Amino acid sequence: MAIRDQMSWAAMITAGAESDDRYEEGLDYYRRMLLEGGMLPDAHILSSVLCCVETLPEARKIHDQVVSSGLYVDVVVMTGLINAYRRCGRLDLAGEVFDRVEFKDMVLWTSMLSAYSHSTDEAVEGLRIFWKMELEGIRPDKVTFTSLITATGNALCGCYAKLVDDRVRAHGLEKDVTIASAMLYMHGKILRACKNAKDVKRGSRLARAALETYPEKSGPYVMLSQIEAEIQELEKKVAEKNGCEEEKKANSFFDCLQPAVLCACANR
């Protein structure tokens, strides 16, 4: 079929972008449109083809075309460019694109937060993005909070866990299934880090936060009690090695968990 107008090219490029196994096909149609059709891409085409990009050279090429097309002010296109650089592992370039956009909407903020959230090394930057977003008066949605929770867990920021929990509660999302699952994952990941660092004090605080938010869940209680049991075993070995038995500490991690564990198991 002879493809002549821009709408036809856009349809083929979009079809490639929306199919997991046809990304290269979408890029090929885009190249053909530029060479054979002699047409300049509009915002819709650029945002579609950016979904097909998985290599840095292609991302840079389309970035140049975004600039030459004067579409650097289009939030949808810039969001696509941020996501393309994220897939290429270049969060520095994604950040540069984000900073250049003057008027940022909630989707753009969330895209940048999501880009940082999945990187262990850069997850803390995702937390900063969220606080800046709130200062700008942008109201986060469920997707934003999911990315924030992921960033907190990957950054192993126990100090932020309570703040994140408070923000989730303030927006009435603590009972949402997706948010609850992400929160439990976050608490579990940070608690394991506390266990590895033998940081019982911080682990105890996080345990209380998890139990307050999800008192009806038996799984977290069991997981947290197992972590405390491992910590106690390590402490016991240290005490025995030193030729003495440590006194049981008041307000220990296990002290706050044991009643909840028994209650949860009794109600199952």
pLDDT over threshold 80, residue 224: no
Q: Which two three-digit tokens encode residue 166? A: 């408070």
pLDDT of residue 240: 74
Q: Which of 191, 198, 143, 134 is nearest to 163 (CA)?
A: 134
> What would the pLDDT profile of 209-221 be if each residue is shown by its tens digit?
666 766 666 555 6
Counting Cα atoms < 13 Å in the Cβ hemisphere of 256 gives 22
10 Å CB burial of residue 62 (0-12, 13-18, 19+) is buried
Per-residue confidence at 250, pLDDT binned at 50, 70, 90? very low
pLDDT of residue 221: 61
**Residue 185 near residue 219 (C-beta atoms within 8 A):** no
Dihedral (CA of 231, 251, 223, 142) sign: negative
Dist CA 92 CA 267 (whole Å): 50
> What would the pLDDT profile of 45-104 be if each residue is shown by its tens digit?
999 999 999 899 999 999 999 998 888 889 999 999 999 999 999 999 999 999 999 999
Hey, what long-range contacts does 138-143 have (CB within 8 A, 24 or more apart)?
138/104, 138/105, 138/106, 138/109, 139/106, 140/106, 140/109, 140/110, 140/171, 141/106, 141/110, 142/173, 142/176, 142/178, 142/179, 143/110, 143/114
Distances in Å between the Cα of 96 and the Cα atoms of 78, 116, 128, 166, 261 are 11, 13, 15, 31, 48
What contacts 68, CB < 8 A, 6 or more positions away? Answer: none
Dist CA 112 CA 98 (whole Å): 7
Q: What is the largest CA-CA distance in the chain?
A: 86
> What would the pLDDT profile of 139-171 be if each residue is shown by its tens digit?
999 999 999 999 999 888 777 888 898 899 899
Q: Which one is predicted more confidently, 260 or 43?
A: 43
Per-residue confidence at 244, pLDDT binned at 50, 70, 90? low
CB atoms within 10 A of CB 80: 24
Q: What is the mean pLDDT of the chain?
A: 80
CB atoms within 10 A of CB 190: 25
> What would the pLDDT profile of 125-138 be if each residue is shown by its tens digit?
999 999 999 999 99
